[in-house]
Amino acid sequence: MRVESLFNYPLKGCRANPMLEAKLGSLGVQGDRRFMAVTHRGQFVNGKKFPKLVLVTCRIDNEQSVIFSAPNMPELKVDLTADDGRVDVRVWRSDVNAKSLGDKANSWISDFLGGDFRLCFYDQNSHRQVNSLPEYPVSFSDSAPVLVASRQSLEALNAYTGRVDKIEQFRPNLVVDADSAFAEETWQRIRIGEVELLAVKGCARCPVINTDVEFAQPDPNQEPLRSLTKLHRRVSDGKVIFGQYFVVTQPGRVVKGDQVEVLQSRPAEQYQPLPDEEQEQYTITFEPMTLNARSAANETILEVAEAAGVALASSCRGGSCGTCRVKLLSGEVEVGADYALTEQEIEQGYILACSCFARSDLVIALED
């Protein structure tokens, strides 16, 4: 097994930057997710809300300066040694004190995204820890410093969808030629060149993977996430997984083509079986329009609604945002995830359409 591609994404959400070799340290691949766009209140901005970010390219010069470019924008060079002050920002649940890139950079990103935004830098004085990794620093990546995915996982997904999605949509740092699809999820400790990595968790996916990386266009049919939901939804929590997060336990250099050695394996997680056309089907009635739709056992209520043309809003499609909340008036469902619901809402019969499966005929209310 070998490393086929190496990427960093210096600005969170930006275009993949292919590399022939890279140093890996405690923050992951050199230069990865060190810059971030935030609102004027310091809240992070990512590709889910602003797909245009994927059109930005970002190059760091020896930690001395950074150059941003984007379509129809002048190139922006920022001196990282200049004193432009500091800014408190928030990424997911972490508060981070970061270096400001100054007024010129703030105007540049505001002009490009259309609004009032700032650019900041995770420098040597910044510090972020995430709950699941108390001993390891994490810069502006979502959950952990290094994301590994195999080419075979992408090929399995593309074979299932009949599409040609690109690995850059999944934003990995290392792409590996593995023995089989999703093999990376069974690696507990791996060695690549001088570097050793320890697995943290599978990468739960959201609609960011539906954005075309060339034109920043989200797929109108919500693919490939819609298909990945059928192909690789974890039984334990209903999350849709692609790729594995790691931390660096032995820093060093990785070169494209380096061999990947599995030092320790972990048991594979259980995934929902693929939809079986022979499986029992149920009728879901959506109120108040009294629209009936047929549901296979492995289709989420959201997928059934969408296929039937029912207007039901969704966002994360993984049970964490609450956008797809509906009320179950009758029938039995299997709940994959309900993180976004309060206990009171659950008692009142609310469910998340993206994470529930019919287990009998159902009546669902779209409005209170």
Residue number, 278 or 367, with CB nearest to ligand FES: 367
Residues whose CB is less than 8 angstroms from the CB of residue 149 and which lie 6 or more positions away in sequence, other chains included: 167, 170, 172, 174, 175, 176, 184, 203, 242, 243, 244
What is the nearest approach in angstroms of ligand FES to the Cβ of residue 292? Answer: 22
By the rule CB under 6 A, 238 interacts with ligand FES: no
When asked if residue 28 is in the footprint of ligand FES (CB under 6 A), the reply is no
**Residues in contact with ligand FES, shown as a per-residue x/- string from 318 to 337 under the rule CB under 6 A:** -xxxxxx-------------
Sequence-ordered list of residues with C-beta below 8 angstroms from that of 144, at least 6 positions apart, any chain:
130, 132, 133, 136, 138, 200, 201, 245, 246, 247
Total residues contacting ligand FES by CB under 6 A comes to 13
Q: What is the DSSP string of 91-160?
A: ETTEEEEEEE-HHHHHHHHHHHHTSSEEEEE--TT---B-TT-TTSB--SSSSSSEEEEEHHHHHHHHHH
Rule CB under 6 A: is residue 301 a binding residue for ligand FES? no
Residues 6+ apart with CB under 8 A from 124: none
The amino acid at 39: T
* Minimum distance from residue 170 beta carbon to ligand FES (Å): 19
Based on CB atoms, which residue is closest to ligand FES, 175 or 356?
356
* 366 lies in the site for ligand FES, by CB under 6 A: no
Instruction: Tell me the residue length of the chain.
Output: 368
N-terminal to C-terminal alpha carbon distance within the chain:
53
Shortest spacing between CB 204 and ligand FES, in angstroms:
12
Q: For residues 115 and 39, what is the distance between their CA atoms, to the nearest angstrom?
A: 9
Beta bridge partners of 292: 285
Residue 355 CB, nearest distance to ligand FES (Å)?
A: 6
Is 340 near ligand FES (CB under 6 A)? Answer: yes
Q: In angstroms, give the least distance from the CB of 323 to ligand FES.
A: 5
Q: What is 228-252 written as a DSSP string?
A: HHHHSBBTTT--BEEEEEEEEEE-E
Q: For residue 356, state whether it binds ligand FES (rule: CB under 6 A).
A: no
Stretch that binds ligand FES, among 68-76, 147-155, 182-190, 316-324 (CB under 6 A): 316-324
Check binding of 316 to ligand FES (CB under 6 A).
yes
The residue (of 181 and 310) whose beta carbon lies closer to ligand FES is 310
Q: How far is the CB of 312 from ligand FES (least distance, A)?
A: 9
Q: What strands lie across the sheet with 28-29, from one edge to the other?
A: 28-29, 21-25, 252-255
Nearer to ligand FES, 352 or 364 (CB): 352
Q: Indicate whether 283 belongs to the interface with ligand FES (CB under 6 A).
A: no
Select the residue interacting with ligand FES from 102, 291, 315, 331 (CB under 6 A).
Answer: 315
Rounded to an integer, what distance in angstroms lies between the CA atom of residue 150 and that of residue 147? Answer: 10
Say how far apart CA 190 and CA 97 lie, in whole Å. Answer: 32
The interface with ligand FES within residues 160-179 (CB under 6 A) comprises: none
In the DSSP assignment, the letter for residue 112 is: H
- For ligand FES, the binding residue among 181, 352, 358, 366 (CB under 6 A) is 352
To ligand FES, the closest distance from the beta carbon of 51 in angstroms equals: 17
By CB under 6 A, which span of 47-55, 90-98, 265-273, 311-319 interacts with ligand FES?
311-319
In the bound complex, what is the minimum distance in angstroms from residue 320's beta carbon to ligand FES?
6
Is residue 314 part of the contact set for ligand FES (CB under 6 A)?
yes
Q: Answer for the pair 51, 217: CB distance below 8 angstroms, yes or no.
A: yes
Residue 317 Cβ vs ligand FES, minimum distance, rounded to whole Å: 5
Could you tell me if 201 and 244 are in contact, meaning their C-beta atoms sit under 8 angstroms apart? Answer: yes
Three-class SS state of 55: helix
Binding footprint of ligand FES on the chain (CB under 6 A): 314-317, 319-324, 340, 352, 354
